[in-house]
């Protein structure tokens, strides 16, 4: 589309937002954009509709069809309401659960959504204040709801907000319902189609009644309560980074028996501005700096942090020199599954039908641990809805004991169907207590895993490409990889290439085979002869293309980490050079 045509389309779209269906403040902001001589912001706000994708909505807050506001949220809720009323038309009363995080406008969007659902005859269970995403997932199942939504942009910067839709199993929506909901949302053509006038009789406020049941269930996953009794003074530093983790994580740790928990006071303040961090992402070292500062001052054993909606957990511990180091998402997931498998076996809790799940971009060391211990492991797409799908498919047949992904998400139970940092934090504290009981640290445990199962180092390279031009650039990069697939990466021949868009795998000799996955996905993977794994995918929630790199090595002893890590860093640099990143 030429620039002139684009601008005409954008202006026409913006002018439709000047109708009486929109509130006075919105109309004034849209008029200001139209009057501005520089059309850049107008184009960004209106060049497309904020897409209600398979994961819901996520975007920058502001006016316009490509922004998070009461009208884009309203259209999503109206479309979801229409789909629920069609899909469950024989049900006497359809019900939904609504949760939200600490972000600016999250409560407003939650209350407006509650009004819209109720205006469409749907009963609403609305949390009285911010709550972790996993608790909302639990509440859907506990209350017997048909759907649920959470207003959150997870760990995105403060300018963002989001809207995630869930189905009756407590998991994010999958086929065929995802496409069905998207179709209904797309039919909502203007604000006039949205029923904003709520029915208060259909809105029920929930809170402590769900908190206590959920926390009791979380406590039930403890594998070794006796080790906690022996190590109840384990020194724990926790930060919710201004988000929902403050509501339940300290309480959960206390319920498990941990008596020496220190919360970072400046970050126990609820705020959508996240004033003490650049970005509220526990994957970033900067977000944990205040927690590590506190940990150093009190000589703590472990640091743990949750993102704003408390589904991701980040952690830090002391290395063999007593220095605080961050443990990445792959390592965290590996430690969780290693502990669960090892200790369930040791305590005679295995019955033989257990399974674990990881995503295709998560470390292959997890497969090594599962295989050696005769535990079935499933690989699935990125996103916890796919882990939840695997749990659902095996329900009543096999026992799920844990699953996770490299992006700092883990789920140790099946009564929640999304990643859960509340249970992850408590289980992490138990693992730390178990290690301390043997005179070890979490770092020592990680080193033991590397010695027994082989060393791997993983890194993710994010190329951020904002706006329309960025989206075009990302598309061109993926097309180029498909048109010109690499023959070697980092000096090692590509032995296997997988394209999840075509569901075809091609080996080094050119032989093609089918990939067994539930649907296609825009992901490319390359496996080289020296054990390196590269995964390339555009992010589904942020304007970036992601390169996941995993390289293999050997560690002869726990003290050999430095040399193994140095060799891996060198190999990663060679891989990046090969890929042009």
Q: What residue ranges do the domains of the chain occupy?
A: 48-206, 214-453, 455-579
pLDDT (tens, 9 = 90+) of the chain, 581 residues, equals 458 899 999 999 999 999 999 999 999 999 999 999 999 999 999 999 898 877 789 999 999 999 999 999 999 999 999 999 999 999 999 999 999 999 999 999 999 999 999 999 999 999 999 999 999 999 999 999 999 999 999 999 999 999 999 999 999 999 999 999 999 999 998 999 999 999 999 999 999 999 999 999 999 999 999 999 999 999 999 999 999 999 999 999 999 999 999 999 999 999 999 999 999 999 999 999 999 999 999 999 999 999 999 999 999 999 999 999 999 999 999 999 999 999 999 999 999 999 999 999 999 999 999 999 999 999 999 989 999 999 999 999 999 999 999 999 999 999 999 999 999 999 999 999 999 999 999 999 999 999 999 999 999 999 998 887 888 899 999 999 999 999 999 999 999 999 999 999 999 999 999 999 999 999 999 999 999 999 999 987 678 999 999 999 999 999 999 999 999 999 999 999 999 99
Domain spanning 48-206: which CATH class is it, in words? Answer: alpha beta
First to last CA, the chain: 29
Closest by Cα among 277, 323, 279, 332 to 304 = 332
Rounded to 5 degrees, what angle do the CA atoms 519, 357, 539 make?
50
Structure tokens at 78: 């109206």
Number of C-beta neighbours around residue 271 at 10 A: 17
Three-state helix/strand/coil letters over 88-117:
CCCCCCCEEEEEECCCCCHHHHHHHHHHHH
Number of C-beta neighbours around residue 580 at 10 A: 8
Catalytic residues, which ones? 154
What span, in angstroms and rounded, lies between the C-alpha atoms of 35 and 142? 51
CB 258, CB 234: distance < 8 Å: yes
Stated pTM of the model: 0.94
CB 86, CB 115: distance < 8 Å: no
Burial (CB < 10 A; 0-12, 13-18, 19+), residue 448, is middle
* Exposure class string for 327-341: b at 16+ Cβ within 10 A, else e: bbbbbbbbbbbbbbb
Which residue pairs, CB below 8 angstroms and at least 24 apart, start in 103-106? 103/151, 103/152, 103/153, 103/158, 103/160, 103/161, 103/272, 103/308, 104/61, 104/158, 104/161, 104/272, 104/273, 105/61, 105/68, 105/161, 105/272, 106/130, 106/151, 106/152, 106/161, 106/272
Domain spanning 214-453: which CATH class is it, in words? Answer: alpha beta
Tell me if 48-206 shares its fold with 214-453.
Answer: yes
pLDDT at 2: 58
pLDDT at 469: 83
Question: Which CATH number is 455-579's, of 3.30.70, 1.10.287, 3.90.930, 3.30.310?
Answer: 3.30.310
Structure tokens at 389: 């799908």
pLDDT at 1: 45
What span, in angstroms and rounded, lies between the C-alpha atoms of 516 and 259? 48
């Amino acid at each position: 589309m030429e620039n002139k045509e684009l601008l005409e389309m954008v202006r026409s779209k913006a002018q439709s937002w000047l109708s009486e269906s929109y509130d006075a403040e919105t109309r004034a902001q849209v008029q200001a954009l139209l009057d501005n001589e520089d059309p850049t912001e107008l184009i960004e706000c209106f060049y497309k509709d904020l897409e209600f994708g398979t994961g819901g909505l996520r975007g920058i807050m502001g006016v316009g069809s490509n922004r998070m506001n009461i009208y884009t949220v309203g259209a999503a809720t109206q479309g979801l309401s229409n789909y629920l009323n069609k899909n469950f038309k024989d049900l006497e009363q359809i019900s939904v659960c609504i949760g939200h995080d600490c972000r600016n406008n999250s409560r407003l969007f939650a209350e407006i959504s509650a009004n819209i659902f109720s205006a469409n005859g749907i009963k609403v269970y609305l949390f009285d204040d911010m709550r972790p995403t996993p608790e909302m997932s639990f509440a859907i199942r506990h209350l017997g709801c048909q759907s649920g939504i959470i207003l959150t942009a997870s760990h995105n910067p403060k300018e963002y907000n989001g809207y995630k839709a869930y189905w009756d199993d407590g998991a994010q929506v999958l086929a065929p319902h995802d496409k069905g909901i998207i179709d209904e949302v797309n039919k909502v053509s203007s604000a006039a189609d949205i029923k904003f006038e709520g029915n208060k009789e259909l809105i029920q406020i929930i809170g402590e009644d769900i908190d206590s049941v959920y926390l009791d269930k979380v406590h039930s996953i403890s594998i070794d309560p006796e080790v906690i009794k022996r190590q109840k003074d384990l020194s724990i530093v926790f930060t919710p980074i201004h988000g929902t983790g403050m509501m339940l994580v300290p309480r959960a740790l206390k319920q498990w028996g941990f008596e020496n928990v220190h919360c970072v006071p400046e970050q126990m303040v609820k705020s959508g501005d996240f004033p003490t961090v650049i970005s509220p992402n526990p994957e970033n070292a900067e977000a944990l700096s205040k927690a590590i500062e506190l940990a150093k001052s009190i000589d703590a054993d472990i640091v743990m942090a949750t993102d704003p909606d408390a589904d991701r957990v980040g952690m830090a511990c002391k290395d063999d020199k007593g220095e605080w180091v961050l443990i990445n998402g792959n390592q965290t997931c590996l430690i969780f599954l290693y502990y669960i498998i090892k200790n369930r076996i040791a305590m005679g809790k295995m019955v033989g039908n257990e399974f674990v799940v990881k995503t295709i971009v998560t470390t292959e060391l997890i497969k090594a641990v599962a295989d050696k211990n005769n535990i079935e492991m499933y690989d699935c797409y990125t996103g916890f809805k796919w882990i939840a799908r695997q749990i659902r498919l095996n329900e009543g047949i096999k026992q799920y004991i844990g699953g996770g992904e490299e992006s700092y998400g883990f789920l140790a139970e099946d009564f929640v169907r999304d990643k859960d940092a509340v249970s992850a934090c408590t289980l992490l504290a138990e693992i730390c207590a178990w290690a301390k009981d043997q005179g070890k640290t979490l770092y020592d445990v990680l080193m033991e895993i590397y010695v027994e199962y082989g060393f791997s180092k993983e890194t993710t390279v994010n190329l951020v490409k904002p706006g329309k031009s960025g989206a075009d650039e990302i598309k061109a990069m993926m097309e180029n990889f498909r048109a010109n697939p690499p023959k070697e990466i980092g000096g090692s021949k590509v032995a296997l290439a997988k394209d999840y868009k075509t569901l075809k795998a091609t080996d080094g000799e050119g032989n093609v085979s089918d990939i067994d996955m539930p649907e296609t996905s825009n992901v490319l993977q390359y496996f080289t002869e020296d054990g390196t794994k590269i995964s390339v995918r555009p992010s589904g929630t942020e304007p970036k293309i992601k390169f996941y790199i995993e390289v293999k090595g050997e560690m002869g002893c726990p003290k050999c980490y430095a040399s193994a890590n140095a060799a891996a860093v060198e190999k990663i640099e060679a891989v990046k050079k090969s890929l042009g990143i």
